[in-house]
Amino acid sequence: MSQHLHHDIVIIGAGAAGLTLALELANTHKVAVLTKGEISEGSTLYAQGGVAAVLAETDTVDSHVQDTIIAGAELGDEEAIRFTIEHSKESIDWLIDQGVPFTRYGDDQDYHLTKEGGHSHRRIIHAADATGLAISKTLVKNAKAHPNIQFYPDHIAVDLVTTQKLGLNCPNRVIGLYALNQDKDEVEVFHAHRVALACGGSSKVYLYTSNPDTASGDGIAMAWRAGCRVGNMEFNQFHPTCLYDAKAKTFLISEAVRGEGGRLLLPDGSRFMFNFDERGELAPRDIVARAIDHEMKRLGVKHVLLDISHKDPEFIKEHFPTIYKRCLSYGHDMTKGPIPVVPAAHYTCGGVVVNQHGETDVADLYAIGETSYTGLHGANRLASNSLLECIVYARSAAQNILADSTPREDFTIPDWDASKVTDSDEDVVITHNWHELRRFMWDYVGIVRTDKRLLRAKHRVDLLLSEIEEFYSNYRVSADLLELRNLAVVADLIIQSAMSRKESRGLHFTLDYPEKLEHSDATILKPRIRSSELARS
């Protein structure tokens, strides 16, 4: 018999988006927060640069909006962009009220604002070069102290439970979920009046990524299976500068390093970015990543170089203490010379289609943060807009929930049925498919694409989806199997979206259609409506 747990809302993920929502609701709601591993493990923890917001007197909302539209290759939703930026200052004020220790600078000790690629003003408020860590530590501390917030670490969501999946004769809505308790190796049933997906992006679908191991697209895949649309999944941002070192596992070098004067160099010491864009190193990430990829392939080299050693050593240590110490631990002293860097999958610009309150196509199901597609990022994310989106949409979702006093019906959810499955003696299948999926996504659906590469990828993912579903139906679930199942779904969505876009725009660059169309729309995929039975119920 499964353990059944009851909450007003279950939030999957404990990053900036999930914890903001939890803290905003906890005074009136019983909140459960599920995390796959440790409570703070997620992309927020590793975010270095900061939060973009209109804070300086010389800056304007219109300027930030325009920078976002340009960086997004004119594919962003201007209404969503303006909504986000108009709420930027109040979101920063909220974080400050929570106790986030943003960096102060100068004699007057005002908050220090830095500048990053694609921004026309200094508008990035930060906590040294570890902003995500500061936000995560602060919000986790506050959430742990709240009596109405209960954390469930080492729980990985299996699937959402909806009234449609149960075959109930009523409008479709989410009523809970199944989750694998990894400590007990048992699937538990979570009942909830609302569920929020705040479990990050899907960069783990690629062989090389700057993201933590948790970024396996779980929220996007579960929402798709529940009947939600997804948008702009072809736009996967590759961070241009991750440390190239076997021991570093692609440690991210913040865009702020280039914002403060860092130069990209070829192995012979020559600069190359001005050959690709008049903004040089401060061009948007998609342009910088493609330029580096081009030069690496042209020269047959494994990396390029990033050099800020022309700056005063104390300036470097003060502005980038975390990066400096981490690089030094691997034998790279950024105060004395250039460091080796390569692009790596970094951010999922698409996701589950939501409105300005984070509501999805399924009633009572919300998606916030990197899991969602709000329209903010368009074809390419502007640096440091992502943490802003987390806070703005989490607070908007909370306001929407708090304003809704409609009573919610309690539904019966069946136990998880594992009576017809066995323990697998073929885990090598999971390992093999895991590596194959990430390899062909990197080779065929990476920074530069072609129709032939995408077709090869589509053939492979169709076979993998069939193999994985057969495995899932016959063997006990495990964390690796659940993540592989979700990554395969996300890979298919990325491939389908990329195949449908007959142009090069933003992060989607194809040699078969190198030009940008004069008019283009977001790519929206809609699940086929079918009578889906509840898995193992």
- Express each pLDDT in 459-504 by its tens digit: 999 999 999 998 888 888 999 999 999 999 999 999 999 999 999 9
Q: Which residues have a Cβ under 8 Å from the Cβ of 460 and sit 6 or more positions away? A: 436, 437, 440
| pLDDT at 536 > cutoff 50 | no
User: For residue 535, what pLDDT is reported?
Assistant: 42
* Residue 209: DSSP 8-state: B
Catalytic residue among 285, 326, 485, 536: 285
User: For residue 214, what pLDDT is reported?
Assistant: 80
- 311-363 residue pLDDT tens: 999 999 999 998 999 999 999 999 999 999 999 998 999 999 999 999 999 99
Q: Which residues have a Cβ under 8 Å from the Cβ of 463 and sit 6 or more positions away? A: none
Q: If phi over 0 gives left and psi between -120 and 50 gives alpha, with beta otherwise, what is residue 50? A: left
Distance, in Å, from the CA atom of 510 to the CA atom of 454, rounded to the nearest integer, reads 10
Radius of gyration of the chain (CA): 22
Q: Does the structural domain 239-345 have CATH classification 3.10.20.30?
A: no
User: For residue 105, what pLDDT is reported?
Assistant: 81
| pLDDT at 424 > cutoff 70 | no
User: For residue 534, what pLDDT is reported?
Assistant: 41
Q: How confident is the model at residue 42 (pLDDT cuts 50, 70, 90)?
A: low
- 438-463 residue pLDDT tens: 989 988 999 999 999 999 999 999 99
| pLDDT at 45 > cutoff 70 | no
**Per-residue H/E/C for 489-504:** HHHHHHHHHHHHCCCC
CA atoms within 13 A on the CB side of 70: 14
Q: How confident is the model at residue 43 (pLDDT cuts 50, 70, 90)?
A: low
Collapsed DSSP state (helix, strand, coil) of residue 304:
strand
* Residue 516: DSSP 8-state: P
Q: How confident is the model at residue 383 (pLDDT cuts 50, 70, 90)?
A: confident
Q: Provide the angle, in degrees to the nearest 10, between the axes of the packed helices 385-402 and 78-86.
A: 80
- 46-74 residue pLDDT tens: 666 799 999 999 999 999 999 999 999 99
Q: How confident is the model at residue 126 (pLDDT cuts 50, 70, 90)?
A: very high
User: For residue 107, what pLDDT is reported?
Assistant: 67
> Which CATH number applies to 427-511?
1.20.58.100
- 156-208 residue pLDDT tens: 999 999 999 999 988 899 999 999 999 999 999 999 999 999 999 999 999 88
| Domains of the chain by residue range | 4-234+349-402, 239-345, 427-511
Q: 349-388: buried (b, 16+ CB within 10 Å) or exposed (e) per residue? A: bbbbbbbbbbbbbbebbbbbbbbbbbbbbbbbbbbbbbbb
- Is residue 285 flagged as an active site residue? yes
> Which CATH number applies to 4-234+349-402?
3.50.50.60
User: For residue 308, what pLDDT is reported?
Assistant: 97
Identify residue 428 by its one-letter amino acid code. Answer: V
- 66-122 residue pLDDT tens: 999 999 999 999 999 999 999 999 999 999 999 999 999 876 778 999 888 789 999
- 346-356 residue pLDDT tens: 899 999 999 99
**Tokens at residue 319, please?**
């502005």
- 130-164 residue pLDDT tens: 888 899 999 999 999 999 999 999 999 999 999 99
Q: Which of 193, 164, 167 has the alpha carbon at shortest distance from 401?
A: 193
Of 16-20, 197-201, 409-413, 531-535, the one with minimum mean pLDDT is 531-535
